[in-house]
Structure 1
Amino acid sequence: MALRRALHFVFKVGDRTRTATFYRDVLGMKILRHEEFEEGCKATCNGPYDGKWSKTMVGFGPEEDHFVAELTYNYGVGEYRLGNDFLGLTLQSSQAVSNAKRLNWPLTQVGDSLYMTEAPGGYRFFLIDKEQPSCDPVQKVSLAVSDLQRSIHYWSALLGMKVIEKNEDKKIALMGFSDNQCKLELQDIGGDVEHATAFGRIAFACPRDQLPDIEAIMKKEKHKILTPLVSLDTPGKATVEVVILADPDGHEICFVGDEAFRQLSAMDPQGNELLDKAMAADKSDEWFAKRNKQKASA
């Protein structure tokens, strides 16, 4: 399954301005593209919301060879409740550690050359205090599972990932489609996985002709399909086809046709400017403040 590749993780954000500061100024990522939408996504890309929302892709380099973050912002929603499902994203960058210290962004040392910090909303990031590699600095996304063996079977036997490392004592497995991509780390927490309203989604690309096969094997094995194969339109850009799954613990997984996605995900040199413009035009915080109200909590 070497043709399959890890793309991004979706984070719901309530404070877009502070979130942009974290990714740009603390982590040192770039705004790769930014899009505004007037209504909800057919594949619930922004969660179960029908109103206006935005999508911002941020990363250390182009989406074709870097694992990035997708930041979805629903206008009018100020915060989301965290579950125990997302355990962290790990990246290697001494510059990010230095940035956090310089900006007084909360940072906790949790091991040799390893620091933990949080993005707005409470999402955990682990920073390895070593020189940022020339390839992708993002090393792994860690998710909680309730039965490690069951999850390994799902991700390997059904989705084609290989087990790269496994630690029986710590109940952790590191998996991936190839050695030079961001990995997926599954950690058995010994109990139920709760997603709450901040639940995310991990995305992968595969050749378009594999999408019906992925859908078919999930039907055959009686695993959950959240969104059957569907086409998603982005005005002025390529139309992509996706199928959205849920693993045994309810983690959302998006598979997208690689050929069209490479066109859709081309870096937009105006991305940074478009995000800043959208944040400047967003008066929702002022609107709520004037009325002594708070934005909705999802």
Structure 2
Amino acid sequence: MIGFGAEEDHFVAELTYNYGVGEYRLGNDFLGLTLQSSQAVSNAKRLGWPLSEVGEDLYLAEAPGGYHFYLVDKEQPPNDPVQKVCLAVSDLERSTHYWSSLLGMQVMERNEEKKTVLLGFGDSQCKLELNDIGGKVDHGTAFGRIAFSCPRKQLTDIEALMKKENQKILTPLVSLDTPGKATVEVVILADLDDHEICFVGDEAFRQLSIIDPNGNALLDKAMAEDKSNEWFAKHNKQKASA
């Protein structure tokens, strides 16, 4: 889990490395993550990372694997620099209804020209942008899910509402054990375009999401110890494509 601060008040991304898989096929479902940080822009330039200027003070960077990051070349705000996550939808009005009327997000901005709607649960939190692509949403093989934490007692209400509205429930309310740590409860949904949405009980989640002061060192150690490329070369094999 990687981000600019604690998960209780910052957006974080979950990076998953699956051993033996060397490549994933991107779909058109995830349209990018936007963050405001002049430092990120200067870091990219210093490291020679390709940047494309796509607007005033706005750059596009492509991460390994093809994921898009939009970098706003302005001073990093005191709260979360991650401004929004953009998902593709096939029907903007129906999707807006789903995310606002059913899931309770507030519509904060509409752009008829770009066919986008910006939603959020709070002004200080990372926003969700829906972008109507005018066609089918393809999740490829590299898809992930959006996750929110909420008071545990709300999980049953969310599940009940989805059942009442005949919406997709991928995983009914379930308890997940983590040895030696808190047991969290989750319910996983899918919207009209099959974007996966996970709601997690906040009380237990806060116990699981405490920042590990050794996190960076542990990640570096794990990457250094990964010898999968050498193993595949030694055995004259290729990593699979998902």
> TM-score under structure 1 normalisation?
0.80
CA RMSD, Structure 1 to Structure 2 (Å): 0.9
Tell me the CA shift for residue 280 of structure 1. 2.3
Please say if 1:292 is aligned against 2:240.
no
1:226 is matched with: 170
Please give the residue correspondences for 1:262-273 in structure 2 after superposition, counting only pairs within 5 Å: 262-273=206-217
Gaps of 5+ in 2: none
Deviating more after overlay: 288-297 vs 218-227: 288-297
Counterpart residue type for residue 153 of structure 2 = D
Q: How many residues align?
A: 242
Tell me the CA shift for residue 73 of structure 1. 1.1
Gaps of 5+ in 1: 1-56
CA separation in 2, counterparts of 1:246 and 1:240? 20
Equivalent of 1:177 in 102, 121, 133? 121
Equivalent of 1:76 in 11, 14, 20? 20
Please give the residue correspondences for 1:266-281 in structure 2 after superposition, counting only pairs within 5 Å: 266-281=210-225
Tell me the CA shift for residue 272 of structure 1. 1.5
Tell me the CA shift for residue 234 of structure 1. 2.2
1:156-193 Cα distance to aligned partner (Å, 9 max, x none)? 11100010001122211000011111000000000000
Identity %: 81
> TM-score under structure 2 normalisation?
0.98
Tell me the CA shift for residue 292 of structure 1. 3.2
CA separation in 1, counterparts of 2:77 and 2:227? 39
1:118 is matched with: 62
Please say if 1:197 is aligned against 2:146.
no
Counterpart residue type for residue 143 of structure 1 = L
Please give the residue correspondences for 1:124-163 in structure 2 after superposition, counting only pairs within 5 Å: 124-163=68-107
Q: After TM superposition, what 4+ stretches of structure 1 lie above 6 angstroms from structure 2?
A: none
Aligned with 2:107: secondary structure? strand
Counterpart residue type for residue 254 of structure 1 = C
Aligned with 2:94: secondary structure? helix
1:48 is matched with: none
Tell me the CA shift for residue 293 of structure 1. 2.4
CA separation in 2, counterparts of 1:60 and 1:81? 28
Aligned with 2:200: secondary structure? strand
Tell me the CA shift for residue 284 of structure 1. 1.1
CA separation in 1, counterparts of 2:64 and 2:135? 26
Tell me the CA shift for residue 291 of structure 1. 2.8
